[in-house]
Amino acid sequence: MLRLTRYFRTAAIALLMPTLALPGLALAASAESGTAVEQQTRAGWHQAIGRGYQALPVKASCQLLVQVATHVVDNSQQLVADWSEFKPHYLATDNYTHATIRAAITALEVAEERRLATPMGLRGNGKRSAYAADAWRSGSSLASIGASVDGLQQYFLPGLEKLLTNQGDSDLAERIHKQFGEVQEHFPAMDLALAPLLEDDNAFRSLQGLYVDLSQLTTLVNGEAATSLGVIRGFNSSDGD
């Protein structure tokens, strides 16, 4: 069975349901919501498998993936265009600085807690599980975390350093800059899948080192820098109950 992420499944259904005639999938995509379509389609797939049907034919699979990939590219280009149009308004708002810092705080918290600590078994039931990580099917969990850190270092850190330096906290700015470097320096090879690192105790130590580095960075930005700049942290979905 062709395995797709939730987004890809929903996009694929919306694009190709009218043209793919699979047994048990008599459903009009245009008349249903994404969630309802996905649930009914999954049920149809399970019924088809139960009757002995196999995965999509090669030709249909290729058509499906081409259409989904094209849809993703179109959405990405539209998102870039929308942001470019919205950017002047965002920069002109009074709470631009604090809103940007809070966004970075959330990104670091999510990377530390959900994307690293949870699959490492440091949260929840205490068991290591690659299935709790982002992009576990593609083996890109570490690469996705690395991309987030790269983005923060490239686009967020310069402005944060300037703000801290302007108000006399150059030492804190320097420590944050150094800690970003520590995270990058001690990052496990990003071309490795997360699962093998979780299964091998020796390899797991590299993840532990990364977690410590990322936690220290989170403390510096989310704690010391936010306090120094007077950023009031609001409730977000990573705060728990």
Length of the chain equals 241
Tokens of 61: 């699979």
pLDDT score, position 31: 37
Q: Classify residue 144: in a domain, yes or no.
A: yes
> Which segments of the chain does DSSP mark as H helices, in order?
6-16, 34-50, 58-92, 96-109, 141-151, 157-166, 170-185, 194-199, 201-218, 226-228
197/32: higher pLDDT: 197
pLDDT score, position 50: 47
Rounded Cα distance between 4 and 38, Å, is 11
Of 69, 101, 121, the last residue of a domain is 69
Q: Classify residue 76: in a domain, yes or no.
A: no
Predicted confidence band of residue 30 (pLDDT cuts 50, 70, 90): very low
Q: Classify residue 190: in a domain, yes or no.
A: yes
One domain, residues 97 and 64? no
pLDDT digits (tens, 9 = 90+) for 181-239: 999 988 877 778 889 999 999 889 989 999 999 999 999 999 999 999 999 876 554 45
Tokens of 179: 């800690």
One domain, residues 130 and 98? yes
Angle, CA 71 vertex, CA 32 and CA 140 arms, to 5°: 105
pLDDT digits (tens, 9 = 90+) for 33-59: 445 545 555 555 455 544 545 566 777
One domain, residues 58 and 143? no
Structural domains in the chain (count): 2
Q: 235: helix, coil or strand?
A: coil
pLDDT digits (tens, 9 = 90+) for 100-155: 999 999 999 999 999 999 999 998 888 999 999 888 888 889 999 999 999 999 99
Residue 49 belongs to what domain range? 6-69
Q: Classify residue 23: in a domain, yes or no.
A: yes
pLDDT digits (tens, 9 = 90+) for 53-84: 556 677 788 888 899 999 999 999 999 999 89
Whether the Cβ atoms of residue 19 and residue 13 lie closer than 8 Å to each other: no
pLDDT score, position 71: 95
For the question of whether the overall pTM of this predicted structure is more than 0.75, the answer is no
